[in-house]
Amino acid sequence: MIDLTGKTILVTGGSRGIGEAIVRAVAGAGAQVLLHFGKSRGAAEAIQKSLGSEVCHLIEADLAEAAAAGELWRAATAAAPRIDVVVNNAGIFEPISVDAPLDEWHRTWGRVLQVNLHAPADLCKLAIAHFRAHGGGKIINLASRAAHRGDASDQWPYAASKGALVAMTKTIARGYAKDNILAFTIAPGFTDTDMAYTSLDDAGIERILAEIPLGSMVSAEECGALAAFLCSDQVRHLTGATFDINGASYVR
């Protein structure tokens, strides 16, 4: 049984999909949750209502803005002076053709890297300073199967951002274990959320399912359960590890 009683966990992008599943899983295990959201205020408020405002605190920030991670962290530490775990889940998936004009190419790369890599890096930096002052903590970064096997030909920025996130997490684990700071990566394959169905028609969905030996996309709830386990103190020596959760569609 996972018991997170007494822990405070910050989850970015916590209003939908995998983020919502993580919020619900850690709250169900007894944690206090700082739920970050970008634009989905209604969804975030519905989650807070179902969990209770004493369990779930909402923080709004647009991580596409360069200064947003710092603002988010200040709001988080004002709401909860001791944070035990940071879960960097927020991410975007924005296709760009290799034939696109260079200025459009640069804008897309900039947006994807800002949300998927720069904002998590800022939050990790701020979290490490916080954890050093409070005896340690944990970071969980949500990457993707694409970090290891690549992605579609119009998803260079997404795959690159997730690959960098994996390398960053390993670097944190190696560098700060001495400070009792642990870091893990979760790398889902196609997940049964709204994000997975973006730009997919029925034929695309059938093709994706045919590549998954289990025959179905991973559920957000499975990712949430894994994240809750990593938030616990049961697996300290797994720091630095990447956890693939993709139905054996890509086995390393």
* Positions marked catalytic: 158
Q: What residues are paired with 181 via a beta bridge?
A: 137
Inter-CA distances, 50 with 21, 53, 217, Å = 13, 9, 26
How many C-beta atoms lie closer than 10 Å to residue 58's C-beta?
Answer: 19
Inter-CA distances, 181 with 29, 169, 175, 232, Å = 21, 11, 9, 13
C-alpha–C-alpha distance, residues 88 and 97, integer Å: 27
Listed in sequence order, the residues at least 6 apart from 134 whose beta carbon sits closer than 8 Å to its beta carbon are 82
C-alpha–C-alpha distance, residues 242 and 205, integer Å: 26
Provide the b/e sequence for 119-138 (b: ≥16 CB within 10 Å). Answer: bbbbbbebbbebbeeeeebb
Look at residues 183, 179, 178 and name the one whose alpha carbon lies nearest to residue 138.
Answer: 183
